[in-house]
A = this chain, B = another copy of it.
Amino acid sequence: MNAESFFPKNIKAALHNNPPGEWIPSVPTNAIRLHSGYPAPQLVPSKELKEAVAQLLDEENDLPLHYIGSPRIDKLKEWVRLRQGVRGMPAKVEELLITAGACQGIDLIARIFLDKDAVVVVESPTYMEALEIFQNYTDQIITVPIDKNGLHTEHLAKMLAERKQIGLTMPSFLYTIPTFHNPTGTTMSEDRRGHVLELAEEYDFLVLEDDAYGELGFTDNPNTLKSMDTKDRVLYVGSLSKVVAPGMRIGWVHATVKFIHALFWFKKDLEHPFAQATMATLLENTDFTSRLQTLSKNYKEKCQVMLDALEKYLPEDAEWFVPGGGYFVWVKLPGIDTEKLLTDAMKEGVSFLPGKYFFLDQTEGIEYLRLSFSYENEEGILKGIQKLGKVVSSSLN
């Protein structure tokens, strides 16, 4: 039996990719982990979650363990609704869909807006999981570069004008992480945010705003595209992964009722009552503003330790963006193949993610790497960058 004969044409691509998960470096357990986009272990509220589960099941018994029935499912949605409001994105309940993290939101949006003839625009570099998602549905992915002010909207405008002039298919949507970007740590300037929305209106495309890091600013959090959007152009994806715990898989989409309705019909993993009700209980007992302040302080300090260490231990021609928040520092090491470097780095006891995984054309990422300051403590970060400096020096000799 020939398995491939069963697949519709546009699915065959999936069969020719690498095995799942192959890109994740198999990091030795005692290595310093600078590759993980994980929250700091001591900031993950595991004790509070244990208490939340106990409270939830004491109060509701079997309710959160059925398909529906726990009143806390609605409470979680209401919490998200209020949070969106606080952040300048007033929402009706019907404009929200709770998802299994931001990833499921992105995937659902790709599913309803992309077919194999559709065009999608992404930042370059961009979140690898999003790239994989879009590649499941279309081969027509267009990349627009990022600089220290985020997505280069003049490039975007030029590309759009050219496509229109030649008569090419125009994009269905632009996927962007405007704030504390993964992997570059950059933030789109206010001007460019306005420009993106103007272009969306002019060329009739939607904007998929991934705001997973949006509340993790070191000093402040910029206005979201969604909060500036007066034309219903923005589909907003939020997540509690980076501010509470990724393992709970709680995210959401905020969009017009019509879009939410369509997304719902394609979301066939149903509600996740236990996870959602547990999160609702945790949030009832959490001072979220204070939590964000704690996270911000921790990540700001660790980011500074990393930046100082990079200055001290990396060669002079190394470059990086200074992040205003989030989890990551994006480093360019001219003349170095970072995938090869990783092998040496792991032997030395430190990990990072090679830049290639964040590019559609992976050759563009050879000299880049992503470092995360979120997971390790200050001592770990300092030692990790020392080790990184050592293997970089060796590789240059």
Residues of A at under 8 Å CB distance from B? 1, 3, 5-11, 14-15, 17, 19-20, 36-39, 41-42, 44, 46-47, 49-50, 53-54, 57-58, 61-62, 64-67, 70, 99-101, 103-104, 106-107, 111-115, 117-118, 129, 132-133, 136, 172-173, 204, 206, 231-233, 241, 245-249, 256, 258-259, 261-262, 264-266, 268-270, 272-275, 277-278
Contacts and interface: CB of A to CB of B under 8 A. Distances in A.
Contacts of A268: 103-104, 106-107, 129, 132-133, 136
Contacts of A100: 100, 269-270, 272
A377 to B, nearest CB: 13
Given A10-B115, A172-B6, A1 B67 contact: no
B65 A49 contact: yes
Contacts of A39: 66
Nearest to A277: B247
B106 A246 contact: no
Give the copy number: 2
Contacts of A248: 65, 274
A20 B259 CA distance: 12
A41 B61 contact: yes
A349 to B, nearest CB: 18
User: When A and B form their complex, which 7 residue pairs have the shortest distance between CB atoms, in order from nearest?
Assistant: A100-B269, A8-B115, A107-B268, A65-B245, A247-B273, A65-B247, A44-B62
Contact of A66 (B64, B232, B245): B245
A57 B282 CA distance: 15
A269 B49 CA distance: 21
A245 B17 CA distance: 35
B265 A132 contact: yes
B270 A15 contact: no
A262 B14 contact: yes
Contact of A38 (B66, B114, B173, B277): B66
A66 B132 CA distance: 21
A327 to B, nearest CB: 13
B15 A269 contact: no
B1 A270 contact: no
Among A204, A206, A247, the most chain B Cβ lie within 10 Å of the Cβ of A247
B269 A11 contact: no
Nearest to A244: B65
Contacts of A259: 3
A38 B70 CA distance: 13
A14 B265 contact: yes
Given A14-B261, A65-B246, 16 more contacts: A1-B232, A6-B206, A8-B113, A8-B117, A11-B115, A15-B261, A42-B62, A49-B57, A65-B247, A65-B248, A66-B245, A129-B270, A136-B265, A136-B268, A246-B273, A247-B277
Contacts of A103: 268-270
A270 B256 contact: no
Contacts of A241: 67
A17 B261 CA distance: 9
A107 B11 CA distance: 14
